[in-house]
Amino acid sequence: MELLVLPGWRTPATPLDAWVSELETHGGLVVVTDELPGAVSLEIAPIRLRGYAMLAGRNVEAINFELPDADPSAGTRAIGAAAEALGWEVHFDDDDDDDDDDHTAA
């Protein structure tokens, strides 16, 4: 299962440190690893949550989270709470949905 988080319509630029802080508040220690220029991976090992964040400088533009198939509930709660606190939107990636409908949760 994958979740894409994007800033809300009027959400100001959100630094990576703000995302890390919110995720740690709601999910546990976040390990940040530099990837390609303009991207980092985020991992919260105890809840098996991984994210790939696209950056503009130190501000996050989008994060694609991968949740464990067995029990995604802890990761979903952590992402939802962090996104809500930061004014971001959570979009569920449903591979079985072939139409263009967008499923959003906040």
Per the structure, the count of domains in the chain is: 1
Write the DSSP assignment of the chain as a string of letters: -EEEEEE-TTPPPEEHHHHHHHHHHHT-PPEEEE-STTEEEEEEGGGTEEEEEEEETTEEEEEEEE--SS--HHHHHHHHHHHHHHTEEEEEE-TT--S----EE-
- pLDDT value at residue 54: 98
pLDDT for the residue 88: 97
The model's pTM is 0.85
Give yes or no for residue 101 having a pLDDT over 50.
Answer: no
pLDDT, tens digit, 9 for 90 and up, residues 30-43: 999 999 999 999 99
Q: Smallest Cα–Cα separation from 105: which of 36, 11, 5, 2?
A: 5
CA distances to 5, 21, 79 from 17, rounded to whole Å, are 16, 6, 15
pLDDT at 106 over 50: no
For the cut 80, the answer to whether the pLDDT of residue 24 exceeds it is: yes
Which of 58, 60, 42 lies closest to 50, judged by CA?
Answer: 42
Each residue of 57-90: pLDDT tens digit?
A: 999 999 999 998 888 999 999 999 999 999 999 9
Res 99 pLDDT > 50:
no
Q: Is 46's pLDDT higher than 50? A: yes
Q: Which pLDDT belongs to residue 69?
A: 83
Q: What is the pLDDT of residue 38?
A: 95
The residue written with tokens 């079985």 in the block is 96
Q: Which domain range does residue 39 map to?
A: 2-105
CATH of the domain at 44: 3.30.310
The neighbour count for residue 69, using CB atoms within 10 Å, is: 8
